[in-house]
A and B are shown apart, each in its own frame.
Chain A
Amino acid sequence: MSIFSFFRSAPRPSAVQAKERLQIVMAHERAGRTGPDYLPMLQQELLSVIAKYIDIDQNKVEVKLDRGGDCSTLELNIELPAREQLKSAMAAVKGAKPEPKPADTADGEAKRSAANGPLTDGGVKKRH
Chain B
Amino acid sequence: MSKIIVMTSGKGGVGKTTSSAAFATGLALRGFKTVVIDFDVGLRNLDLVMGCERRVVFDFINVINGEAKLSQALIKDKRIDNLYILPTSQTRDKDALTREGVERVLNDLSKEFDYILCDSPAGIERGALMSLYFADHAIIVTNPEVSSVRDSDRILGVLNSRSRRAEQGLEPVSQQLLLTRYDPDRVERGEMLKVDDVLEILAIPLLGVIPESQAVLRASNVGMPVILDEASNAGQAYTDAVGRFLGEEIEHRFVSPQKKGLFSRLLRRSA
Contact = CB atoms under 8 A, between A and B. Distances in A.
Contact of B153 (A2, A13, A15, A29): A29
Nearest to B196: A19
A71 interface: no
Contacts of B192: 15
A30 B194 CA distance: 22
Contact of B197 (A19, A25, A26, A29): A19
A1 to B, nearest CB: 9
Contacts of B189: 13
Interface residue SS majority, chain B: helix
Interface residues of B, number: 21
A33 B160 CA distance: 11
A23 B201 contact: yes
Contacts of A15: 187, 190-194, 197
Contacts of A41: none
B129 to A, nearest CB: 16
B28 to A, nearest CB: 36
A120 B193 CA distance: 53
A16 B150 CA distance: 16
A22 interface: yes
Output the residue of A19, A23, A29 with the most chain B CB within 10 A: A19
Contacts of B190: 13-16
Contacts of A19: 193, 197, 200-201
What 10 pairs between A and B have smallest CB-CB spacing? Answer: A13-B190, A2-B269, A19-B197, A15-B190, A18-B146, A33-B157, A15-B193, A26-B153, A18-B193, A15-B192
Interface of A: 2, 4, 13-16, 18-19, 21-23, 25-26, 29-30, 33
